[in-house]
Each structure stands twice: as C-alpha cells, then as structure tokens.
Structure 1
Amino acid sequence: MEICTGNHFLMDDQILPASCFQYYLKENTPGIYEVIRIIDSVPLFSEKHINRLMNSATRSDITLAFSGDYIMKGIYDLVKINGILNGNVKVLLHYIGDKANPDLHWYIYFIPHHYPAEEAYSEGVAVILFWAERANPNVKAANSDMRITIDNELKERRAYEALLVDSHGNITEGSRSNVFFVKNQTLFTASQDTILPGITRDAILEICKKSHYQVIEERVPHENVHLMDAVFITGTSPKVLPVQRIDNFIFESARNPVVLNIIRAYNKLINNYIQTNKL
C-alpha cells in the first residue's frame, strides 16, 4: 500500500491534503517511479532522477504530455508546501489502459524513510543472496509481489538488503540498491544493461575514475563472493553503505581503505551539490 507522509501531496496540478491520499492511490498501483532524497530542502541529484524517470517512460512505451521541468517544479513546490527539510519524495506516474494513450496521472508525495544508523556505516550491514531477476531491469517500475517476498525474507533473516542472483548464478544488483565488490584496488559491478542504473552508482563510477580505481563492469558469480576484500551497496537512502556479511561470509568492508575513500568522496559530492542548489 502506498503511504503518504507530510500534510499535502500533489496530483497533476492539484495540491491535496494527505488525508485523501488513499482515495486516489490504492494497493498494487501500476506505474513507474523515482524516489528522491531531500537534504536541507534540496532534492538531491533531482535532474538525474527526472531524466531516468523520463527514460523509464520511454522504455515502457508511455507517451508523456509534460516535461521533466514540469515535474521538477512540482517537487520543489511539495517541499515548500510541507516545510519538510529532510526526507524522501516519491514521484509516481500512474497509468490505466493503453500505454500509447493512457489515462495518466502523476503524483508527488513524501514517503516514510529509513536511513541506516551510524553503526551501519562504522561496522557494515548484513545482506543476503536472493534468486530473482527483474523483467525489465532498466525501468524503475513497481513490483509489489517481489517487494513483499523480499521484505519478508529480510525480516526473517535480519538482513538489511537482498542481492539478486540471476539464473546463471551471477549477482546483478540489490533489490533496491546497486552493489560493488572490491578486490585490491579494483571494483566489480554489473554492467548497466543488466541492472537499474542507479544515480548513486553513476556518481561512484565518476569518483572511481578520478581516484584512478579500475572498475570492471561484469557480474560476480555468487560462489566467488568470498574472494573479495570488501563489498558495499549504493542507493538514495543508504548512500554508500559497507557490507559486513553476505549470508555466512564476513567482510571488513567498513575498514577497507578503498571503501572509506569512496564514502568520503561521495559525502563531499553531496555537500557541494547542496551548497550549489540551495534556494
């Protein structure tokens, strides 16, 4: 079920009270979406999120009658109306009927967020392997059945995230993150055509290039994870988060110098972006 926090949400051109949110959006809502983190009232890397949303619409054969700038304005309006300085905003394009000529509405609303505790960054988190593949990995589309199954598995096994393993036994990405493996000063991550190319992932690739770390874009076989020195996941909410354990394999990721350098560089990138884009 979709959940709206804050006092107001946006539907198309309307500003509506959160109390009527469930009237418009019910369970198993079909659509494509983006989640954007708000820090100090600034939507972080919002232009890249909107570009990916528009790309998802194109790949899904959905014709849009509005521009990315139109959605961008709605995000800033929502932040201002609610007066919320920090949180996560979801942009959902909800469609019914023929994708070529759909009954299309867009929603922008604050959602519950769960950011990792400081201990998660200083010690790392537990993740599990989960055999599953996305039907269209380049499109950020809702898949409630898969999400419920994974969430139940995470709760039962007390893990933070699930790494998806494809039919060939290779690790592709997290269920809501991207994943990097570190061996010496070389990083491994699945190629862009096999995953949802994360906004944070793109930033990490740039950081690695500037830091002269080699990045090999290929999937890591699940039976080879024990050969790696460190592992970290990336995403809107976790940013760059070290992994302490994959199933029964233990890593010192939170103390790995490559991982620590990348964390520092990404945090600096965020701070610079906020200072540049603060209204």
Structure 2
Amino acid sequence: MSECYRYIYLQNENLKSSESFKDSYIRNGISLYEVIRIISGKAVFLEEHYARLCNSAKQINVNIWYDFPKFKNCIQILTEKNDVQEGNIKLVFNIKEKQKNFFAYFIKHSYPDNELYKNGIRTIIHQAERSTPTAKIYNHELRSRTNNLIQEAEIFEVILLDSLGNITEGSRSNLFFVKDNTLYTAPDDKVLHGIVRGKVITIAEKLHINICKEAIKFSELDKYESAFLTGTSPMILPIKTINAINFSVSHPILNRILSEYKTMIKENLL
C-alpha cells in the first residue's frame, strides 16, 4: 500500500489522483524531504521546515528548485484540494540521475492520545546510525527496520545507539534528558536538527534552563531523572521507559517547557 494518503497529490505542478502514486517515486535516487503538520488548516513552523530542507540540500551539494512562496503555495493547494484541517504533509525533492521531481502529499498520521502525554511512552534501544545525521534524506532500509521493531515490541519509538555506545536520537524524533535542573541533548552534529528540538532549546533559553549538548552514554542512562522526545507529530512527549529504565513523566522542567510550547503553537497559528 502506498504511503500517499487522501485524494490528491502534487507532482511538480500537476495535481494527480493518489491512487496513481507509487512509493518507488521517492525510494529511487536521492529524496530530500520534510513532514509538515497541519493544524486548523495551517502549516506549523513552515519557514523553519523550508530552511532545514535547504540546509539538507546544501550538505549534498544540490539546490532546492522551489523558492519559499512556491513551496508555501503547494501546501495551500494540497490542503484545499483535499479539504483537510488536521494532518501531515510530506514534501519530497527527488533527484534521480539528471531527472528532478517534486512531490507533495498527505501521509497517514498517528498523534499520541492524552493518556500517552499523561503517562509517557515505552521505547527500546536499537544500534543504528544515519550516514548523514544532520540532513533529512529518506532511508527506506532504516525506516522499515525501525517500523518493524515498533510493531513487534508494541512500543511508540525506537531509540538509536551509535557505535560508541551513545544515545543519539529516535528513529523519527529527537531526544532530551533532565538531570540536576539541566536539559541534556546530543551534540548538534550527531542528530537531525528537528524543528521542535530547536523550539525546545529556544524555550529553555527563555526560561533560563541550563542546556548541555553532549554525548548521552547508554551506560549512564539511569542517572537521568526525566526524558522526552520531540517531533512533528508527537510535539513534546514524555518517555516512561527506555528498555527497562524508568523516567519521571511529570518533571517540573518538562512541564514548564510543554506549557510554553503550547503557547508558541497557538501564536504560530494566528
């Protein structure tokens, strides 16, 4: 089954039926992509997503061939044609030999329910590394492997462990840990610069919460008091367990950041 959802998708500037979409369009060649969340018919943090897309392209020495107004217009067209107020849109710039294609389409989303925000999520460790961690490039093999682990273990997310024994990020998310009133996250050059991750760092600075970007050793994971992940769909979500290690899901620092983030979302949609 294709990951293209709803009724209409965009290929370059052409509207097409979702039934005709093939996943091979983005699996072959190099696919730079972003997943953008639509809330009340509006794209959240759109400028930040576009900037990250351009940065990903720069890292592999290519250029995005849509400027921001055109990029924004594609999202508006897709939202209106599919009559969608809430959901996730995937935008892909595919490069295959001398051929370039742009795709925009809705994908099925799964947002955490209130119970998960209240009680936290279960996660497990998986040893894997991205070849270009700071660029958002589609990796079908890693995505399939982690999706299978999520289904088999009945968990919310898989957390990646590098060859040095350090926690880096989730398969679809960034990670934060709390200890001694300080917020910890992996170094910038080891992870994808998630949009929500950046917002959390901005919030922490505003609230005068200490931030430490350093390697998170798996062997020292039980020394942290609290943990949470960030991402386009889950936004900010408490972690209850990583393997058999338990974390607080109601830490004061986590609650302060979550409250401030909700306010930021509301302001972005005005």
Same fold (TM over 0.5): yes
Q: Tell me, yes or no, if the aligned pair for 2:124 and 2:242 is still in contact at 8 Å.
A: yes
Deviations 1:16-52 (A, max 9, x none): 1222223973755641100000000010001110111
Q: List alignment gaps of at least 5 residues for structure 2.
A: none
- Report whether the alignment pairs 1:106 with 2:102: yes
> Within 5 Å, which residues of 2 pair with 1:75-86?
75-86=75-86
Aligned counterpart in structure 2 of residue 219 of structure 1, from 215, 226, 238:
215
Q: CA deviation at 1:165?
A: 1.0
Which residue of structure 2 lines up, in the alignment, with residue 260 of structure 1?
255
Q: Deviations over 1:161-207 (max 9, x none)?
A: 11111111011111110000001310100111111000000000010
Q: Number of paired residues? A: 270
Find the aligned partners of 2:50 and 2:232 in 1 and give their Cα distance.
Answer: 14
Asked if structure 2 preserves the Cα contact closer than 8 Å seen for 1:2 and 1:25, the reply is: no
Question: Which is further off, 62-71 or 192-201?
Answer: 62-71
Secondary structure, in 3 states, of the residue corresponding to 1:93?
Answer: strand
Which segments of 5 or more consecutive residues in structure 1 lack a partner in the other structure? none
Residue number in structure 2 paired with 1:123: 119
Mapping for residues 52-201 of structure 1, pairs under 5 Å: 52-97=52-97, 102-201=98-197
SS in 2 for 1:25: helix
Percent of aligned positions with the same letter in both sequences? 33
Does the aligned pair in 2 maintain the 1:29–1:142 contact within 8 Å? no
Aligned to 1:44: 44
> For 2:236, which of 223, 240, 244 is the aligned residue?
240
Are the aligned partners of 2:174 and 2:231 in contact in 1 as well (CA < 8 Å)?
Answer: yes
Please, which moves more after superposition, 168-177 or 66-75?
A: 66-75
Quickly say closer, same or farther: Cα 1:233–1:73, change in 2 above 3 A.
Answer: same
Q: Is the 8 A contact 1:54 1:68 kept in 2?
A: no
Cα deviation, 1:90-113, whole Å, max 9, x if unaligned, reads 00111111xxxx311001110000
Query: Aligned equivalents of 2:197 and 2:65: distance in 1?
Result: 29
1:10 alignment partner AA: L
Q: Match for residue 32 of structure 1?
A: 32
Secondary structure of 2:77 counterpart: helix
Q: 1:170 to 1:9 in 2, by over 3 A?
A: same
Pairing partner for 1:270 from 262, 265, 268:
265
**SS of aligned partner of 2:203:** helix
Q: Cα distance, 1:59 vs. partner?
A: 1.1
Amino acid at match of 1:127: T
Q: State how far apart, in whole Å, the 1-side matches of 2:93 and 2:27 are.
A: 15
Cα distance in 2, alignment partners of residues 237 and 20 from structure 1: 26
Relative distance call for 1:64 and 1:249 in structure 2 (3 A) is closer
The whole-number CA distance in structure 1 between the counterparts of 2:64 and 2:259 is 38
**Structure 2 Cα separation of the partners of residues 2 and 175 of structure 1:** 20
